[in-house]
Amino acid sequence: MLVAEIQEGYSARAWHGPNLRGSVRGLSLSEVSWRPGSKRHNIWEIVVHCAYWKYIVRRRILGEKRGSFPIEGSNWFHRPEARTLKAWKADLELLDAMHGIMVEAIGDLKDLDLGKTPRGSRVDNRSIISGIAMHDVYHAGQIQLIKRLLK
């Protein structure tokens, strides 16, 4: 059930409107790079932020150490470093990859694991997993708003 919830927020057909992956479909480089304000995140940065938190969820539920995210830094990453279609597609691939390995890790959990609170966390695995689905939907909505502001 949790995996289905995650997939609905990420890429599966959803009744609630665009999911995260759907919200970035077909956007141009200028659209994903545009900032609604000088100190506001653009769509590209939101995508990498979401990839990072999928990595964090996987790391937390598996008890892995920090430091293996492919981009140096944490949480928010300035984008674009290079405003090219290749760089944008690479970050979309990063999002897909982090989503895939996270879902795989969640799928391997036993029911008893869902009630466990990982070291360094204040909430149990069930809440962490449910939260990442909500995180995707939240940011999909944010992206939809930014797209409206673009016009």
Q: Find the angle CA(142)-CA(104)-CA(32) to the nearest 5 degrees.
A: 25
User: Which structural domains are found in the chain, ordered by start?
Assistant: 2-150 (1.20.120.450)
Q: Report the pLDDT averaged over residues 117-141.
A: 94
Structure tokens given for 59:
């790391």
pTM, rounded to two decimals: 0.94
Q: What is the pLDDT of residues 53-98, one digit of tens each?
A: 999 999 999 988 877 899 998 999 999 888 999 999 999 999 999 9
- Backbone region of residue 26 per phi and psi (left: phi > 0; alpha: psi in -120 to 50; beta: other values): left
Contact 11, 19 (CB under 8 A): yes
- In angstroms, the Cα distances linking 82 to 85, 88, 90 are 9, 9, 11
Greater confidence (14 vs 136) lies with 136
Q: Would you say residue 121 has pLDDT above 90?
A: no
User: Looking at residue 40, what is its pLDDT?
Assistant: 96
